Structure 1
Amino acid sequence: MSLVTSIIQKIAPQIGAVVVIDPEYELVGHITFKNGKKSLFSTNKLNINGFGSAEIAKDKGYSKFFLKHFGYKVTEGQTFFNHKVCARIGNGKNIDAGFEYAKNLGFPVIIKPINLSQGKLVTKIHNKTEYYQVAKKIFRINAGLIIERFYVGRDYRIVVIDDEIIAAYQRLPLSVIGDGKSSVAELVQNKQESFIRSVRKKLIDVDDFRIKRKLQKQNLNFNSIIPNGKIIYLLDNANLSSGGEAVDVTDSIHPDFQKLALNVTKDMGLRLMGLDIITQDITRPMVDYVIIEVNGSPGLTHYASIGDVQTKRVEYLYLKVLKALEIGYNNEN
């Protein structure tokens, strides 16, 4: 059973709601509120955001356009398409045009699918060979990709529900810490076992081409022995869904960044949102920042795995979501 499913089952009785979960996979549920209204959910996707706003948030290209329109600082980048889309719409922004753009932007750059989640295939590329390898991988499963300038700074997520900041945390890429005797492969296996024991249950994809490439750039491989205490990063992107880790800063986020997240939520027409930004320090006054993306259904399973305080924050978030859904439906009548 997913964390969200178990949380909804746990908190629904607090507002007199009844929850029915599909018995086979325990990922999809049906909620009947005390006032008789009903709602469905699938893992962390609930009917809290309007359909249009949720769809725009899911599309990295469109959401970036509107964020920039509202005056927010967004990553510099452009969208490119596979040959089928280019032929259909008469657009020349194909894979080759993407390389020319990346070259003019200046390597390294970030390349990512236009509408996939959880950091899938998000890659930092350094040259022409890497560009075409990754772009072709993306186009096999996705019609479009985004090429963005690479920004130096810390990666943060801020989670908002309506006018309240629920959580803020720094996201660190997947890494292992050496002990002076274990190989990278053994350290990865140990980390994987720790994930399985925790609520995360994240299986690290050891065949991910990005991990092998990241090790090579550090003159390492899976057989390398890492010195005691040395941290080796295995990915460039900091998504927790890719095995990254979170450092909670909810209690110390600066009001400047609180205001930024609340304003973005309103301007994007969302009620529940995860705002991903890069900045130097989210606990200090806002000098500079760049928005990576917005997420209309932020996954918080990995954040909750930090400890009891974080789990209670996630439970509080979903209690607010259920109350908002009940009140929202009630107001429609």
Structure 2
Amino acid sequence: MVKLRPYEPVPAAIQQKPRFPFVTRVLLELFTAGELPNVREIDLEPDYGYVGRIVYHSGAVVLFRGARLHLNSLGASEIALDKGYTKYFLRQLGYHTPQGRVFLFPDYFQQIEKQAFQGDFQTFIDEVGAAIEQEIGFPCYLKPISKGQGEGVNRCARREDLAEIVGEYQSADYQLFLVEQAVNWPDYRVVVYKDEVVACYRRVPLTVQGDGVSPIRALLQRKQAEWLQLGRARRFDIEDSRIIRRLQRDQMSLETILPVGQLYQLHDVSNLCAGGEVEDYTERLHPYWRAFCVRLVADMGLRFCGVDLACADVERAETDYSILELNAVPGLSNYAASGERQARIVRSLYQRIFNEGDQG
């Protein structure tokens, strides 16, 4: 561990690690600048900066791991991570969520129910497909139950695509997945801390614009280079099977050259880690939705949370909506990289979080 105190220079061992996790870098910047007066010292793991121990003047001690801070209880965080249980409790509380159903893979079903699944993989696919047609309808979304950052989320446009998507889930050793009705309203992330909305932004799926010369692969490589210049935390996967499927659906490939000015959406998911873009709505969010999201987060026993809200119009009160997911560990690095104002919002938020860490 490397022990840090306010106003002291950052040790050389730390300065040589510019790719520390985003939250760690913000913490170090605030602390060494003397902007965390309640913090006495920080013990930081020096190789990766992924874990640390914060000691307050009050004697309180807080440990963190990546973006996992001390704000939410373990139980509430685990429920928020599980998309199926989140949907259950939100519906019990009267909130709208997309129509959906959780499916267990046969091997996991056998572990839970202590009885063998009657049939093979194709039988399982047939049962899932029949249930979707009867209860949810195509197109729909398939989501691994306990994965974040858009990992494994697929839009399934037709029953013929089901076997490929579920086969990928099986290869990845997922045990459960959620099938949800497709919701076509814009997708917003609303970030709540305690009793306040601190940020709101619309997430727009990965899109490229043709220049009449470059293949789609080159356009994506160019966009990745722009990401790096902006300081966005992660690179999206150009060979993502979801991108390939989307292209094939439109009889295209990564080598297709788009006409000048043509916009083409490559992803059916809007997560920023999958290449999504940010349109800030913090000042445009109607007070109705501010109060709504604060109440929802409190109802779910959380203090710091990202609410994924599909809404017909967040600038008007009481419009149609659906809650897609909750994130008890909302990553803000990509939002912060989208502009100077956004960076200030995130910096101010973490200043509050770390200064108030000894208050429970």
Matched, 1:123 2:154: yes
- CA deviations 1:164-216 (Å, max 9, x no partner) are 11000000111111122211011011011111222214222122111011112
Whether 2:69 is the aligned partner of 1:55: answer no
Give the Cα–Cα distance (whole angstroms) in 2 for the partners of residues 128 and 152 of structure 1: 19
Give the secondary structure class of the aligned counterpart of 1:176: strand
Structure 1 segment 141-220 matched on structure 2, within 5 A:
141-220=173-252
Which residue number corresponds to residue 131 of structure 2? 101
Q: What displacement does 1:96 show?
A: 4.1
Q: Gaps spanning 5+ residues in structure 2: where?
A: 1-19, 119-123
Stretch of structure 1 that moved more, 249-258 or 212-221: 212-221
Deviation at 1:278, TM superposition (A): 0.8
1:19-40 Cα shifts (integer Å, max 9, x gaps): 2332212222221112222111
Q: CA separation in 2, counterparts of 1:242 and 1:223?
A: 20
Deviation digits for residues 223-259 of structure 1 (CA, Å, limit 9, x no counterpart): 1111222211111010001111110010110111111
Counterpart AA for 2:62: S
CA contact (8 A) 2:23 2:67 kept: yes
Report if the CA contact (8 A) 2:313-2:319 is conserved.
no
**1:27 corresponds to 2:50:** yes
Seen in structure 2, the aligned counterparts of structure 1 residues 157 and 254 have a Cα distance that, compared at 3 Å, is same
Matches within 5 A, 1:1-333: 1-12=20-31, 13-16=34-37, 17=39, 18-90=41-113, 95-104=125-134, 105-140=136-171, 141-328=173-360
Partner in structure 1 of residue 16 of structure 2? none
Determine if contact 1:48/1:272 at 8 Å carries over to the other structure: yes
Q: 1:96 to 1:40 in 2, by over 3 A?
A: farther
Deviations 1:68-95 (A, max 9, x none): 1010001110100111221123387955
Q: Is the 8 A contact 2:233 2:333 kept in 1?
A: no
Give the structure-1-normalised TM-score: 0.94
Structure 1: 5+ residue stretches without partners: 329-333
- 107-116 or 133-142: bigger deviation: 133-142
**Rg larger in structure:** 2
CA contact (8 A) 1:82 1:95 kept: no
Alpha-carbon distance in 2 for matches of 1:98, 1:118:
25
CA contact (8 A) 1:81 1:95 kept: no
Moved more, 253-262 or 3-12: 3-12
Q: Does the 8 A contact of 2:235 with 2:273 survive in 1?
A: no
Give the stretch that moved more between structures: 161-170 or 12-21. 12-21
Aligned residues: 328
Higher mean displacement: 248-257 or 6-15: 6-15
Contact kept, 8 Å, 2:139 with 2:158, in 1: the verdict is: yes
